[in-house]
Amino acid sequence: MKISELSPTEEQVYIATVDVEKESVRPEAEAIMENRIKMEVPKLAKRRNITEDKALEVLRSRSNGQLAWEDSIIFKSFGSVPVSDILEEPGKYNNQYCADPLEPEEGNSKALFFANQDAGTPLIHSMLHGGQSYYLEHDTDIVPEGYRPNKKAEGKTKGEVILELTKAITQEGIATELWCDILESAQLSRADEDAVLVHLAATLETKKTVLKRDYQEYCGRTWVDASFKELREKAGDRELIEFIDYDLNRATELAEKAILSIPGSWPYFSYGNVLSFSTYDRPITNAIGVDGQKPPEIPVIHQYNRDNLCLRLEQSALHYKLKEDKTSGMKIPSMIPTPPQVINKLMEHPTPQAPKVAGLVSHPILNLDGRIIDQEGIDKDTGLLLQFGGSTFDAIPDNITHEMTKEAADRVLGVLFDEFMFKNSLAHKDLYRMSALAMLQTGMFRKVLDQAPAFMIVANVQGSGKTTLARIVYNTLTGRDMPVSSLGGGTDEMKKEILAMLMQSPGMVCYDNVLDGSEINNPVVAKIITSPIFKQRILGRTQEATVPTNTLIAITGNNITLSADLVRRFIAVSLTADTAHPETRAYKHPDIVQYCLASRSQVIRDCLLITKSFIDAGCPINPKKVRPSGFPQWDKMVRFPLLWATGVDVLESLDENRQQSTEYLAMGKILNCLSELFGMESFTASRLMGVLQNDDGDINEVVESLKEGLINMSSRSVRSPKSLTWVLKKLEGRIFDDLVLHKEHIRNRSDEYMIENRKKVQIVV
């Protein structure tokens, strides 16, 4: 059986689930590790000839991923080698197999040693424990006897040094720095150094102890200078950052400045108040368009976790600590692994330094003022991150005329939607055809709109082209084929899926092939359509993300309807068919991925042209003189430009959505039944309840129809006057077939309702 690949949402859920499971077993794992350390303490102390306290410190450091100077590693080819020996010749052991430091009994081929001579700290990467890394630490508290900075020895003897010093003193006197440099560069033995200091003390008529103190201070300073020089060489273009345990805020600030100032493999920004980066993924399909047009690379936003943030920081900074040498008292810089405290602070408390990104766009776009944004990178005004993946786009001409706008709209309709059969509408024969164009235009500008309607592609029969139409829109927006999702699951599960989806900032999400005849009633979908932001706790973390909802939402299905809450939030694109088997119809362009790829640049240019020409013309449609949509920015960027270019208002589809909704039909049925039962008489909810409970022969059919309408409208059986009053209040003021339910308040404050005709209601209003 072939196992399908995880979708991006499923992969994020899987990663978060693994993190949660790891956290649940952490206490047990730490207890096991502590017992293991206690068992190993006497063995290490005896093997390395150190105290048990020091051995305990070394083993705990090992469990945290740091191998101290006194530790040792078991290599496949070299046997057990002390860390101190490895650090003297790291290149000798590069790419050699060794045992896992924590579990050497598992074999000496379970890990690999990497010298990292050009990149930083030597480390061991183990294949156990999920791929743990161990860093080899230079411990300056233990310095081998006779250590000197890495200065090339001049090969002088004791006598030559004494002669050189005598000459210098005779000719011009000698400064402390000069004689210390001559003595230190000679690299004499300790005994010869003492002999030179005795001679020098006699010559200068001073005490040897004074000269020795001066010499030790000089050697310490050169040691520090040489250590810093070595660190800078290892750091290369990276920042050197001193890590001080008690000043974590400063270390974190410097680390983030280094990330922002020194480019690494991935960008660094905040998206949804979560540290993120963007990369290019390989297209799943390898379609080639006309004339060999290749699909663009896929830009995707990912969130940093502790591991990849650590890697990113290592690309920009090298951390070190100042450790005091017990002999000289000098503080020597020592390279350390990237401090986990810095990573944790960046992850849990992102600072304002990281640039904020409002969304990811893979094509040029206009802002709300009509400015063309066509430069890749983060746009300062909108916060949008533009990544084209290698695509090029046609330029928009200057001085656009109204006629050019109409031609652009006709061109897009002809190129993309010419082969679809759209249902005729009473409002306008091309209403649903224009709704398909509005869907494309909405996706084009969705990243700059705080709110916008979603789209529902619906048909009466299978094979009418619903998914194909959605794929065409998606391919044009992104340059690649469309992944689909299923609309279902509980509210909590839906929130997790929605957050995982929005965190990637896709251009469009399609819930494909909803169950035939279903009524769409999803509060989470309603929320992301009407609210500009979506807030939800990230799975597997205590952190909350607040992401923009600027993604085009589309739903496809046969004979599907919308709940009353969603009717005003969806634009319908209704398809039809002229044959019993529309799936057998042949298309001129069967491979829509190739076709859309070849025409993408021209189509995007035309879509931008339509909106830009409307804005450049001074937005000639007055919002106060047309029906409001509830989405003012969408009106300006999509609805009004299309109305100006084509003469069709796509908002008319909302009326047909409402008339087809279950609740709307139930309201009309209830109102007509009440008219038959009571005519123009007033009635109370209690009286109506009595009618429902006593079915009298002639009106039985009306009562049954009334009961059916009440159940469809309230999604539950009405069992009391109180619950019936709730239904009647929802009906109040609604006009259906020239009838309206009107409520009058009388002296005893009980509610009475009556049926009135449209004419009378208009007079009352």
Is the pLDDT confidence value at 601 over 80?
Answer: yes
Is the pLDDT assigned to residue 449 strictly greater than 90? yes
Confidence at residue 490, expressed as pLDDT on a 0 to 100 scale: 72
Q: Looking at the predicted structure, is the pLDDT value of residue 407 above 70?
A: yes
Determine phi and psi for 541, rounding to 5 degrees: -130, 165
Which of the four pLDDT bands, split at 50, 70 and 90, describes residue 607?
A: very high
- Name beta bridge partners: 331: 324
The pLDDT confidence band at residue 739, using thresholds 50, 70 and 90, is confident
pLDDT confidence of residue 319: 92
Kindly give the pairing relationship between strand 384-386 and strand 377-378.
antiparallel
Specify the pLDDT at position 117: 63
Domain 402-648 has CATH 3.30.300.30: no
Give the Cα separation of 119 and 131 in Å (integer): 20
Confidence check: pLDDT of 633 > 90: yes
Is pLDDT larger for residue 249 or for residue 46? 249
Please tell me the distance from the alpha carbon of residue 294 to that of residue 287, in angstroms, as a whole number. Answer: 7
Higher model confidence: residue 676 or residue 363?
363
Residue 256's closest CA among 313, 185, 181? 313
Please tell me which residue, 717 or 398, carries the higher pLDDT value.
398
First-last CA distance in the chain: 67
For 455-511, the pLDDT digits (tens) are: 999 988 888 888 889 999 999 998 888 887 777 667 778 888 888 888 889 999 998
How many whole angstroms separate alpha carbon 439 and alpha carbon 468? 14
Averaged pLDDT for residues 126-132? 79
Could you tell me which of 749, 750, 727 has the C-alpha nearest to residue 741? 727
> Rounded distance, CA 453 to CA 435, Å?
11
**What pLDDT score does 761 carry?**
36
C-beta separation of 547 from 499 below 8 A = yes
Per-residue pLDDT tens digits for 255-278:
999 999 988 888 999 998 889 999
DSSP string for residues in 233-300: HHHTTSEEEE--TT-HHHHHHHHHHHHHHS--SS--EEETTEEEEEEEEPPSS----GGGPPPPPEEE
SS3 757: strand
pLDDT bucket at 747, cuts 50 / 70 / 90: very low
In this predicted structure, the answer to whether residue 410 has a pLDDT above a threshold of 60 is yes
The yes-or-no verdict on residue 286 having pLDDT over 60 is no
Q: What is the pTM of this model?
A: 0.67
Listed range (17-26, 385-394, 651-660) with the worst mean pLDDT: 17-26
pLDDT at 764: 31
| pLDDT tops 80 at residue 676 | yes
Mean pLDDT of the chain: 80
Q: pLDDT higher for 634 or 177?
A: 634
Q: How far apart are CA 319 and CA 336, in angstroms?
A: 6
